[in-house]
Amino acid sequence: MASPEIDEFEQLLFDWEDGTLDTAGTTRLRDLLRKSQAVRKVYVERQMFGAILKFDGDTGIDSADAGRGASGAATFSVSEEGPRFPSAVSESAVDASAALQKTADSVEVARRRYKSLLFVIAASFLFCLVLGRWLLVESRLQSAEQVKPETSEALPEKLESTSAGIALVTRLVDVTWQESEKQFTVGDALSVGVVGLESGVAQIEFFCGATVILEGPARLVLESSTVARLQSGRLRAQVPPAARGFQIHAEELRVVDLGTEFGVAVNEGEADVQVFDGEVELYQPNGEQRLVTAGNAITHAASGVFELAELTPDEFLGLEALDDRVRNQKEDRYQRWLDHSMELRKDPRVITYYSMEQDRYWKRRLASSVVPENRNLDGAIVGAKRVVGRWPQKSGIEFKRPGDRVRVNIPGQFGSLTFACWVKIDSLDRWYNSLFLTDSYQRGEPHWQILDTGQLFFSVRLGGGPGKGHHKVLSPPFWDASLSGRWLHLATTYNVETRTTKHFLNGEKLCEERIPDELFVQQTCLGKATIGNWSSPTRPEADFAIRNLNGSMDEFVLFRDALKSDEIRDLYIQGRP
Amino acid sequence: MSDTEQTENFVQQLTECQGRLFGYIYSMLGEHSRAMDVVQETNLVLWRKKSEFRDGAPFMPWALAIARFQVLAHVRDQGRDKCLLDSELVAALSEETEQQVDQLETKRLALRKCMSDLPQEKMEMLQLRYYRSMPIAEIAKSIGRRADAVKVALLRLRRGLADCMHRRIQEG
């Protein structure tokens, strides 16, 4: 049945597994794999066979386990040993020669097998969770600003591109970037190149495992996943044993870590190295090297002279302190927004306001926050999910599927209008991507949406024949994929006094346009409308009926007035995540 | 869904996929301790990226995509001395492995049935080799046979069991 090629392959693979295959054999083995699909199939089959046996052996699913009563001890060592858990089990639980004597009670075996498998999985998670504890903290902190939903098809590609990177940006606090350099957001992968901070703090995790906290103003040149050059500023590096050998170059110096925590500062040709824990090796260009141990600090002057210096750990922001800052920043900003929101609710110019604050996740009613309370203005959430909003303590609404929407009914006649919302756009999939669309689009009804070109679109229906029924005001394109997943503040004003429409992004005016007299509408109204989608219109000429937003919204407010530019700016400042 | 529910849901999915993750990664690396390392790394990455995972989306393809990335990273880091596969081969084998790993549970049940018929001597060799990763030379010593004889016997055994597994799966 098997071809000579497969025979040869199986023998080679067997030797390779045994660790006895020479280089020529290994090359041949790879060639066979490259050349033939049949060989690859056999390879995977054989490997899968090995995997099953290995896994079963490790998890005690073999007769050896029966009656040994060792599973308790084995599991104990498992949870302590972490990543090596299956070996721990196999060493203690599998004793093949003894096993062969056993005639097992099958029920007992099955019970043990199941138990033991569970233990292993549990142990695996213990390990994962312990190591991942800070990740958990991090992910909670990030979830507000960094949920980047992706389709599963898009993932592998994304992962591939990430693989080009050598480090990740994991936290940013109050960061402003040097103008000449690239800007990053949390979650970005960094490739070889410069990270330039004007101010603020960035946490960078190198793929080797080292974590660096860079305090602006500073310039760090990433050279590889294990080497970075500090051109100016200060950083603190935390290097777990797995990342030992991580290097920071500062001026002429090479600081090679031996598993530790240290700080480096570079200022006008002078480099300071402070070791808080463990030890580092310093290399000079002339080949000289010296060891600096915990509690010591050294200054390396531009002249090349070393001097002992005083240890000042407080000058180097650590992980814990950064964590506090991140929390504080988020907490501060959330509080600031909340205070502002409480005032906004009472503003008589507000027609309706969905703060999306303190709504329970399971509630399908989107409470209007307007004071005095008016429950008739409450919206109904259809399909859309409640998700974390701009801050962990606040919710937002995610629109994903073509049916997702919030339905509202806003009675009354108005003149000028202002629309404002915080939105996180994942992508602009549709020709029209709805922010707020009235159902029937009759005379005086506004439509507020985003085109797939990334332009804000606002119009008020005049009526009459198709095409002539409104004047649309388009902003310049403001959105591209680089803004995907970021919270943006969008606002549009419709001023019936000056007959102008203005679009705003993050408090800045994008554009302003006067509406031609023949298309101007004095009186506006809203009625039944949809946020984040368009209710399938019944009019026959209505095209492009699918207009669902792909993204999330957190706060939506509508005013019976055209807000001034500085008021819009204030909405942005007060609500900035 | 609340955060807690989402986390629970995620952990459940992650737990359920451990066997297949191991199967996939082991198949790519063929060496146990390294495979375990990569499984753990993959778990960490999955956990770290859990906010990117959407409820209702199929979990396994996502987990496998990340596992593949971790395997690639590992292969790149370790180089050709330690790994049989290079990045190109990982890519070439990925699809086949994903398909086969889908049937892992079926295969495992089939294999167990096939193994229940094995004579004691063969069972012993199999366990020494696969459960304990014992080198052929040592197995030979421990059972008092020549190394080349052990090798031939194990090769036959593996192929025989693989064929048996196939038959059983096809018979249902």
User: Is residue B138 pLDDT above 50, yes or no?
Assistant: yes
Torsion (CA) A240, A243, A249, A254 in degrees, nearest 10: 90
Average pLDDT, chain A: 77
Using the beta-carbon criterion (under 8 Å), do A87 and B33 form an inter-chain contact? yes
The owner of tokens 């005690």 is A60
Cα distance between residue A353 and residue A6, in whole Å: 70
B34-68 pLDDT tens trace: 888 888 888 888 888 877 777 677 888 888 988 98
Q: Are A429 and A451 in contact (CB under 8 A)?
A: no
User: Is residue A235 pLDDT above 90, yes or no?
Assistant: yes
Q: What domains lie within chain A, and their CATH numbers?
A: 4-131 (no CATH), 167-317 (2.60.120.1440), 327-575 (2.60.120.200)
Do strands A247-250 and A227-239 pair parallel, antiparallel, or not at all (unpaired)? parallel
Q: How confident is the model at residue A533 (pLDDT cuts 50, 70, 90)?
A: confident
Q: Give the per-residue pLDDT at A100.
A: 30
Cα distance between residue B72 and residue B95, in whole Å: 14
Q: Give the per-residue pLDDT at A260.
A: 81
Average pLDDT over residues A461-477: 78
Strand, helix or coil for residue A94: coil
Structure tokens at A111: 């019970």
Torsion (CA) A6, A7, A12, A13 in degrees, nearest 10: 60
Q: Give the per-residue pLDDT at B44.
A: 85
Cα distance between residue A285 and residue A287, in whole Å: 5
Cα distance between residue A104 and residue B165, in whole Å: 24
Q: Give the per-residue pLDDT at A453.
A: 84
Strand, helix or coil for residue A563: coil
Residue B115 CA, chain-centre distance (Å), reads: 18
Contact residues, chain A, for B51 at CB < 8 Å: 139, 142-143, 146-148
A372-384 pLDDT tens trace: 888 889 988 888 8
Instruction: For residue B69, give the nearest of A34, A94, A163 by CB distance.
Output: A163
Taking the alpha carbons at both ends of chain B, their separation in whole angstroms is: 39
Tell me how close the Cα of A97 comes to any Cα of chain B, in angstroms: 7
Contact residues, chain A, for B15 at CB < 8 Å: 121, 125
A124 vs A385 pLDDT, higher one: A385
A38-52, A288-302, A382-396, B1-15, range with the lowest pLDDT: B1-15
Residue A228 CA, chain-centre distance (Å), reads: 24
Using the beta-carbon criterion (under 8 Å), do B84 and A16 form an inter-chain contact? yes
Using the beta-carbon criterion (under 8 Å), do B93 and A40 form an inter-chain contact? yes
Cα distance between residue B26 and residue A48, in whole Å: 8
Q: How confident is the model at residue A208 (pLDDT cuts 50, 70, 90)?
A: confident
Average pLDDT, chain B: 84
Q: Give the per-residue pLDDT at B113.
A: 84
Using the beta-carbon criterion (under 8 Å), do B51 and A150 form an inter-chain contact? no
Strand, helix or coil for residue A265: strand
Q: Give the per-residue pLDDT at A538.
A: 44
Q: How confident is the model at residue A360 (pLDDT cuts 50, 70, 90)?
A: low
Cα distance between residue B104 and residue B111, in whole Å: 10
Using the beta-carbon criterion (under 8 Å), do B111 and A127 form an inter-chain contact? no
Q: Give the per-residue pLDDT at A206.
A: 87
Cα distance between residue A436 and residue A534, in whole Å: 8
A352 vs A58 pLDDT, higher one: A352
Q: How confident is the model at residue A361 (pLDDT cuts 50, 70, 90)?
A: low
Residues 104 through 143 of chain A touching chain B, CB cutoff 8 Å:
121, 124-125, 127-129, 131-132, 135-136, 138-139, 142-143
A94-105 pLDDT tens trace: 333 333 333 333
Cα separations in angstroms, A476 against A358, A428, A572: 35, 15, 19
Q: How confident is the model at residue B1 (pLDDT cuts 50, 70, 90)?
A: low
Q: Give the per-residue pLDDT at A59.
A: 58
Q: Are A248 and A232 in contact (CB under 8 A)?
A: no
Q: Are A296 and A289 in contact (CB under 8 A)?
A: no
Q: How many CA atoms lie within 13 A of A398 on its CB side?
A: 20
A540 vs A450 pLDDT, higher one: A450
User: Is residue A20 pLDDT above 90, yes or no?
Assistant: no
Using the beta-carbon criterion (under 8 Å), do A155 and B3 form an inter-chain contact? no
What is the DSSP-derived secondary structure letter of residue B57?
S
Work out the percent of chain A whose per-residue pLDDT is above 90.
33
Structure tokens at A407: 């339905």
Contact residues, chain A, for B33 at CB < 8 Å: 84, 87
Q: Which of B51, B68, B161 to mutate to test the interface with A (most CBs of A within 10 A)?
A: B51
The owner of tokens 């549709």 is A430
Using the beta-carbon criterion (under 8 Å), do A19 and B43 form an inter-chain contact? no
Using the beta-carbon criterion (under 8 Å), do A163 and B15 form an inter-chain contact? no
User: Is residue A343 pLDDT above 50, yes or no?
Assistant: yes
Average pLDDT over residues A54-74: 46
A286 vs B36 pLDDT, higher one: B36
A153-162, A355-364, B82-91, B100-109, range with the lowest pLDDT: A153-162
Cα distance between residue B16 and residue A118, in whole Å: 11
A187-201, A318-332, B112-126, B140-154, range with the lowest pLDDT: A318-332
Q: How confident is the model at residue A449 (pLDDT cuts 50, 70, 90)?
A: very high
Q: How confident is the model at residue A441 (pLDDT cuts 50, 70, 90)?
A: confident
Structure tokens at B47: 């956990």
Q: Which of A21, A22, A155, A552 to mutate to test the interface with B (most CBs of B within 10 A)?
A: A155
Closest among A69, A163, A77 to A120, alpha carbons compared: A77
ipTM of the complex: 0.92
Tell me how close the Cα of A532 comes to any Cα of chain B, in angstroms: 19
Q: Give the per-residue pLDDT at A132.
A: 39
Q: Which of B15, B17, B27 to mutate to test the interface with A (most CBs of A within 10 A)?
A: B27
Cα distance between residue A110 and residue A62, in whole Å: 10
Q: Give the per-residue pLDDT at A464.
A: 59
Rg from Cα positions in chain A: 31
Cα separations in angstroms, A370 against A355, A389, A417: 9, 20, 16
Q: Give the per-residue pLDDT at A4.
A: 85
Q: What domains lie within chain B, and their CATH numbers?
A: 3-102 (1.10.1740), 105-171 (1.10.10.10)
Q: How confident is the model at residue A125 (pLDDT cuts 50, 70, 90)?
A: very low
Residue type, B167: R
Work out the percent of chain B whose per-residue pLDDT is above 90.
6
Q: Give the per-residue pLDDT at A207.
A: 81
Cα distance between residue A23 and residue A34, in whole Å: 16
Q: Are A49 and B158 in contact (CB under 8 A)?
A: yes
Average pLDDT over residues A280-286: 82
Tell me how close the Cα of A483 comes to any Cα of chain B, in angstroms: 16
A240 vs A503 pLDDT, higher one: A503
Asked if A97 is an interface residue toward chain B (Cβ–Cβ < 8 A), one would say: yes
Asked if A155 is an interface residue toward chain B (Cβ–Cβ < 8 A), one would say: yes
Q: Which of B98, B130, B157, B163 to mutate to test the interface with A (most CBs of A within 10 A)?
A: B130
Asked if A401 is an interface residue toward chain B (Cβ–Cβ < 8 A), one would say: no
Using the beta-carbon criterion (under 8 Å), do A52 and B47 form an inter-chain contact? no
Q: How confident is the model at residue A544 (pLDDT cuts 50, 70, 90)?
A: very low
Q: Are A553 and A531 in contact (CB under 8 A)?
A: yes
User: Is residue A136 pLDDT above 90, yes or no?
Assistant: no
User: Is residue A60 pLDDT above 80, yes or no?
Assistant: no
Instruction: List the beta strands (DSSP E) in A209-259.
Output: 211-222, 227-239, 247-250, 253-257
A424-433 pLDDT tens trace: 999 887 778 9
Q: Give the per-residue pLDDT at A488.
A: 93
Using the beta-carbon criterion (under 8 Å), do B15 and A86 form an inter-chain contact? no
Q: What angle do CA A482, A488, A491 make, to 5 degrees?
A: 130
B62-109 pLDDT tens trace: 889 889 888 988 888 887 777 888 888 888 888 889 888 888 888 888
Residues paired with B101 in a beta bridge = none
Contact residues, chain A, for B162 at CB < 8 Å: 45-46, 49
Cα distance between residue A380 and residue A405, in whole Å: 8
Closest among B101, B166, B159, B170 to B126, alpha carbons compared: B159
Q: How confident is the model at residue A446 (pLDDT cuts 50, 70, 90)?
A: very high
Q: Can you give the pTM of this predicted structure?
A: 0.46
Q: How confident is the model at residue A58 (pLDDT cuts 50, 70, 90)?
A: low
Q: Give the per-residue pLDDT at A465.
A: 55
Asked if A548 is an interface residue toward chain B (Cβ–Cβ < 8 A), one would say: no
Contact residues, chain A, for B58 at CB < 8 Å: 152
Asked if A403 is an interface residue toward chain B (Cβ–Cβ < 8 A), one would say: no
A428 Cβ contact partners less than 8 Å away, ≥ 6 residues apart: A450, A451, A452, A453, A454, A479, A550
User: Is residue A168 pLDDT above 70, yes or no?
Assistant: yes
Q: Give the per-residue pLDDT at A70.
A: 33
Q: Give the per-residue pLDDT at B172.
A: 60
